[in-house]
Each structure stands twice: as C-alpha cells, then as structure tokens.
Structure 1
Amino acid sequence: MKKVLFSILFAGAATLAHAQKSEVADAKKEWGLFQITMNQKPSLEKTLAALNSGLKHTDNAIANEKSKNMPEAWSYRALFASAIAASDTTNFENSSAKQKIAEEAVAKAKELDTKGDEKANISTAEINISNAIKLRAFTAYNKKDYAGALKYFNEATEKNPSDTSMYLNAAIMARNIKNYPEAIKNFKKVISFNTPNAKDLYSEIINLSLSELKDTVGGIALLKEASAKFPDAEGFIQTETQLYINKGDIVKSEEMLNKLVAKDPKNPTYQYLMGDVYYQQAVEVQNKKNKLDSKKVKEANTMVTQITALLDKALPYYLKSSELDPKYAPALEALKRVYAFKNDTPKYEAVKKKLEALKP
C-alpha cells in the first residue's frame, strides 16, 4: 500500500514539474505567435492582451521551484515585459512598471544563462527597454510636456551614455522649461563627443550662461574653452573681448588680443578685434558725452579729445586688417565709422565704394 502511495506522490511531483516547464514552452509559443500577428498590425488593446498573456506564463514559471532557475523563463519574461513597456503609449505608469519587470528579468537571465543560449532574447529585451524610454520621452514632447520629456530623455542617457542625440534632446527640453543649468550640462555632454555641431553648441551655452544666468565668470570660462577648441572662431574672441570691455578690464582685452596678434600677425580678424578694443572705449565715452548737459562745454570737449585719441589708436589696426584682407567687411565698416567721425570725406567715400563692391 505504501509503495502505491509513494508512486502516486512521485508521479504527481513529476507532473507538476512538467506543468511548470510547459509554462515556459507556452511562453515561447505565445512569443512566436505574437511575432507573426505583429505583421497584421493589431490594435494596441489586442497587442497588450497578447503580451500580458505571455507574461502570465512566465509569472507561473518563475513562481515554481522546478522552473524558477530556467534561463528561458527569465529571458522570455524580459521579452514580454519589455515589449509591453515599449508598446503602451497610453499608460506611462504601466509602461514604467513593465520596464522595471523587464530590467529585473534581464539581470536574472544574464545571471542564469551561463551558456549564452538566451543572448539574442536578452539583447532584444534591452533594445525594447531603451525604445520604451524613448517612446515615453517623445510622447511627452509631442504633448508639450517638456518637464516629463526631460525626465525620460535623462533616463535614456543613463541607459545609453554614448547616445548623443538623447543628451541633445534633454538639453533642448531643459532649455524649454528654462532649466538653464541642466540645459548647459547636457549641451556640454554633447560637445564632449566632438560632434560636428560642437561649435554651435558652444555658442548656445555661452549665450545661456551670459544672457539667462547672468554668469559672466562662467561665460568667460566657456569662451576660453571654446576658443581653445576653435581658435579661428572670431565670435568667441570678440565676445570675450567685449566682456572685458564691459567690465572695464581693458588691460585684459589688450593682453588677450596682443597674444593672438603675436601668434598670428597676418590674421585680419585679430587685427580688427584689436582695433575694436579702442573703438568700443570710444563708443563708451561718446555715450557719456551724449548724456552731458549742453552747458558743460568744457567736459564735452575733453571727451571729444578722448574719443579722437582712442579712434587714432584703433585706426592702424583696422587699416592693417583691411590690408591683410581687402574684402574683410567688418574692418571696412569700422574704417567707414572712424572716417565719418573724423569728417574725412575722401577716405569715407573710398571705403564706402569698397563695401559696395563686395555686395553680390
């Protein structure tokens, strides 16, 4: 009698183990069927129903001692959960929850899959997880939920630290919600990859630092960084020079440009910018003069003398710039302004003709 009882118990245990392994087999079948039906472009409702059905089989498989350590149980669990995460565009909470399940399943599958048999499934699940995050990001963006989009784009960069497009998108979202430090951080990350648009992105973060954050110190640091990387970009040099002028740090402006001129004396841009150091000072004095009471003739005359002296300092550099490159319009425009102030009509007209000749 006991032998019969033991036989029945053993048969029951074997049947249960087989039943749990069949859950994995059913999950495989469900996945294969899902792959086929996807070509028919089923509705989201039907897609999610099919995927949830497959996921249920893996729930049963990992719940049992006999099958919980089967690599296949976890790799297919990762497939179903990640596919739901990447498919559910209507419920971000469900998408995120299934993504978490998929991530846990991927980690467990990698731990158990010592032979590498589930490598393809694991890779597909990881791609689905990445796509799920991007899908939520772009969906939020299309809804003009820029804060939500930023959250998901940042998550995407954490998953794939080499995806420059996600850093760029995160930066744009941060800029849209006026989170300028976050925008600068992400733009700088894109720059660090030496992308073709790095020069333009430097201009962007410099502008954000100076115009939005009013951070002159940070702006100058970025300008120096940009100038070192793009030494021929006159815009960076000009902006930094202007900042020193605005601060009244003429010595620093001259020092910086003198080094550049010494390094490349035949560069027309450097010569022009050197002249601009003095010209901008002249403009500042002119602005002060314009605000003077008309009765303060003596003070006005003193200022005219100062302006003339500064323009006289600027003039040789503008001339040198124009000599090095006769078609360099900024130098010609500067010369026109100087000659206009000095009432030197012949030279003014001559420069004007040169400028007109440059027009297409």
Structure 2
Amino acid sequence: MNFKHILIILLFFSVKSIAQKSQVQLAQNSVGKLQVSIANKEDVKKQLTIIGEGIKAIELAQSDKKTKNWPETWAVKAYLSSYIAIVDNEANADKYYSLAVEALEKAISLDKYQANSSLIKAATYNVNIKKQTDGNKAYQQNDFTSAFNTLKQVSDYLPTDTTLAINVGICAQNIQDYNEALNYFKRAKDNGIKNPIVFQSMANIYASKFESELAIKTLEDGLKINPYHSNLTTDYINLLLDNEKYDRAVKIIEGSIATEKRSKLLLFLYGYLQQSQLKNAGTAELAYKKALDIDQNYFDALYQLGLVYVNIANESLKDKNKQKFTSYVNRAEFILQRAHEINLNDRNTIQLLIEIYTRKNRLDKVQELKRKLNEF
C-alpha cells in the first residue's frame, strides 16, 4: 500500500470521527435551543421539533464505536428523552421514559469526572416528574400498591416535599404497610407539615401498635401547631381516656370548652368523665344539659343524663328518701323516653325504661318493651 492510499484511509477515518463528534455537538446544540425555548415559554410542538433534531443526532452518535462510550452522548440522550416523557402524549411519553432511564444509567456509569452532572441532574429530575405523574394516576385509580412503589421513589428523591411524603404514607396505609406509613408521615412531620391529618394518622398507627405514649406525644405535637383543633383535641381526649389518664383529660376538656363553648361533644365528654370517674353527678348533669341546649336530640347526652337520674334515684332509695326517689325516677323516665324516641333500637335505653316501669308497676309498658327486645 503506497503513501497515497494510507493518506486516503486516514482521512476517511478522520472524517468519520469528526462526523460522529459533530453529531454529539448537534445534539448538544439542541439542548441549548430547548433551554431557550423553555425560557421563552414556547409551545410544546416547537420544543418537540427541536428535541427531534437532537434525538436523530444522538442516535447516530450512540451507534458509533467511539462516541457511544462518551458520557455526554448518554447524558444528552437521557435529558432529551426525559423531557419528551413529561410533555408528549402518553404512548410516546412511556416509550421515551424507558429510553431515558436506560440512557441515564449509562450516563451515570460513564461520567466518572462528573463533567455532565447538570444534564444528568436535569434528566433525573424529569424522570422523577414522570414517575410522580404515573404514581398520581395509579393513586386516583385506587391502585395503591403501584402508587406506593412509584411515589416512594419520588419522595426519596425529593425528601423535603411534604405533600409527596403524605401521599406515600396514605398509600402505605391503604396497603396496610403501617411501618412504611409511619416513616413517610414522620418525614412530612419532620419537614414542617401542619396538616392535622398527619398527626392523627400517626397517632392511630402508634395506638394500634400499643405504643400509647408515642400516640399521645404525637397528638400533643399536633396540637402545638394546631391549637384547639377540634378533631385533634377529640382524638387526644379519647386517647387519654383509653389510657385512663383522667386528670389530664379533664384539664384538656376544661381548657377546650373555654374556647369552644358550642361543642356538644366536649361537653358530653366532660360530663361522662365527671359521671364515670369522678363520681360527680351534679357536674355531669350540668354538662349534659348544656350539650342538650346545643342539640336537644343528642342521643348520647340524653342516655347518660337518664342514667345519672337513675343512679341518683337508686342512691335516694338506699337513703330511704322516697320523695327524692320519685322525683328522679320521673326525670329519668322523661329523659330516657326522649332518648328512646330518637333511637328506637338501643337495647340499653329499653332496659333502663323496663327497670323504671317495673318500679312504677306499669306492667303494660314493661311487656311492650320486652316484646321489642325479643324482636331484635
């Protein structure tokens, strides 16, 4: 082979190498054009045209023996493909999402000196936006397993996004993965979430795991951020009652009633505590009456008030105070009859009325109510 032939072969390889290198540059130019187009808020069709030019160039570059091993080849492809994945129609978006994920993996493995970190970072962000879109779609379709698996990855990528963390926690709850639910609700909490539902959900999970102190502490944290929030307060009081922390419950209820004077539930709970734990029938009676002033058909308050009167009547009978006995039996009958009219199928109310009518020797009413009990 003479010198002339050698020169022609060398020139051929040189031209080919330059051509492939220029394809990478063309694709990089498309990235620059796309950035300008995004900044100028141009329509998606124009952006896709720009990307199309870049994709053609990068496909040529990735088929070349030399440039296919360049990290910039795959970084550019990952970025352009990932952008298509978040702006194009669903079918095309899914196709380019897969290409973007594959290209991103290659770019990261080849980019040892992090020369393409900006493109890789941008592509990673776009890939996660696409994941979030798919995860939200699965969530809306009640496919909580798919939603959890997808949104979990996005939340791990964007750990300070509290909305994402909450959604992952809700998905985990729906698939009964309570440990993961706690992890992501806690992530939202640690990043400053104020939503009371997060604190309620965490407390419920802790309570189900018999970690009562953690449940109580969680609700206390929620109330510091959301003082006097009615649902949080109610959950907190119920949790204190469940764990027999009656003194704390009374203090919380008294403080809450001072700010929520029209809360029939708080008044009922206060009356119930006074009645069942502190044995203070007079205070309980006043609390139930205040609750009934707010809602005269409040069954729970009617029933408990009737029970207060039955108990006072029983005590007066022990003290041989017949006048007081008669007075409180009559009150109990009146109140419990109202409760019965509101809830005809409540067995406890019927049984108390049977007891009252038996003492009054109203056997017709006793038989009528006993027949009702037998019908249940």
Task: Identify whether the pair has TM-score above 0.5, normalized to the shorter chain.
Answer: yes
Out of 26-35 and 167-176, give the one that drifted further: 26-35
The residue identity in structure 2 corresponding to 1:206 is A
Gaps of 5+ in 2: 259-265, 313-326, 333-376
Aligned mates of 1:135, 1:51 — CA distance in 2 = 25
Identity %: 18
The residue identity in structure 1 corresponding to 2:18 is H
**Aligned position for 1:304:** none
Is residue 221 of structure 2 the alignment partner of residue 253 of structure 1? Answer: no
**Aligned position for 2:63:** 60
Deviations 1:339-360 (Å, cap 9, x if unpaired)? 7554679xx9xxxxxxxxxxxx
Give SS of 2:245's match.
Answer: helix
8 A contact 2:28–2:54 mirrored in 1: no
What is the 5 A alignment of 1:31-70?
31=31, 39=42, 41-42=44-45, 53-60=56-63, 63-64=65-66, 68-69=69-70
What is the 5 A alignment of 1:298-313?
311-312=279-280
Aligned mates of 1:265, 1:153 — CA distance in 2 = 40
Give SS of 1:111's match.
Answer: coil
**Aligned position for 1:170:** 168
Is residue 211 of structure 2 the alignment partner of residue 222 of structure 1? Answer: no
Q: How many Å apart are 1:18 and its aligned residue?
A: 0.6
**Aligned position for 1:103:** 104
Q: TM-score when scaled to structure 1?
A: 0.60
8 A contact 2:81–2:100 mirrored in 1: yes
Closer, same or farther: CA 266–174 of 1 in aligned 2, 3 Å: closer
Aligned mates of 2:143, 2:254 — CA distance in 1 = 52
Closer, same or farther: CA 228–46 of 1 in aligned 2, 3 Å: closer
Aligned mates of 1:190, 1:125 — CA distance in 2 = 26
Q: How many Å apart are 1:133 and its aligned residue?
A: 1.1
**Aligned position for 1:242:** 241
Aligned mates of 1:56, 1:190 — CA distance in 2 = 42
Q: TM-score when scaled to structure 2?
A: 0.58
Give SS of 1:140's match.
Answer: helix
Closer, same or farther: CA 256–147 of 1 in aligned 2, 3 Å: same
The residue identity in structure 2 corresponding to 1:311 is K
**Aligned position for 2:80:** 80
Closer, same or farther: CA 89–177 of 1 in aligned 2, 3 Å: farther
The residue identity in structure 1 corresponding to 2:220 is S
Closer, same or farther: CA 9–47 of 1 in aligned 2, 3 Å: closer
What is the root-mean-square deviation of aligned Cα atoms in Å? 4.8
Deviations 1:78-132 (Å, cap 9, x if unpaired)? 2123224434633787455324224325525753454xxx565344323312211
The residue identity in structure 2 corresponding to 1:279 is Q
**Aligned position for 1:279:** 275
Aligned mates of 1:156, 1:192 — CA distance in 2 = 17
Aligned mates of 1:2, 1:279 — CA distance in 2 = 113
**Aligned position for 1:22:** 22
Is residue 124 of structure 2 the alignment partner of residue 126 of structure 1? Answer: yes
8 A contact 2:135–2:146 mirrored in 1: yes
Q: How many Å apart are 1:192 and its aligned residue?
A: 2.0
Aligned mates of 1:318, 1:7 — CA distance in 2 = 109
Closer, same or farther: CA 169–55 of 1 in aligned 2, 3 Å: farther
Q: Which has the bigger relative contact order, CA under 8 A and spacing at least 6?
A: 1
The residue identity in structure 2 corresponding to 1:225 is T
Gaps of 5+ in 1: 245-251, 282-309, 323-327, 349-360
Aligned mates of 2:200, 2:113 — CA distance in 1 = 50
Aligned mates of 2:22, 2:144 — CA distance in 1 = 46
The residue identity in structure 2 corresponding to 1:238 is I
Q: How many residues align?
A: 292
8 A contact 2:151–2:164 mirrored in 1: yes
**Aligned position for 1:149:** 147
8 A contact 2:100–2:127 mirrored in 1: yes
Closer, same or farther: CA 265–223 of 1 in aligned 2, 3 Å: closer
Aligned mates of 2:192, 2:294 — CA distance in 1 = 31
For residue 305 of structure 2, the aligned residue among 333, 337, 342 is 337
Q: How many Å apart are 1:191 and its aligned residue?
A: 1.7
Closer, same or farther: CA 90–140 of 1 in aligned 2, 3 Å: farther
Q: How many Å apart are 1:149 and its aligned residue?
A: 1.7
8 A contact 2:23–2:57 mirrored in 1: no
Aligned mates of 1:228, 1:121 — CA distance in 2 = 41
Aligned mates of 1:173, 1:193 — CA distance in 2 = 19
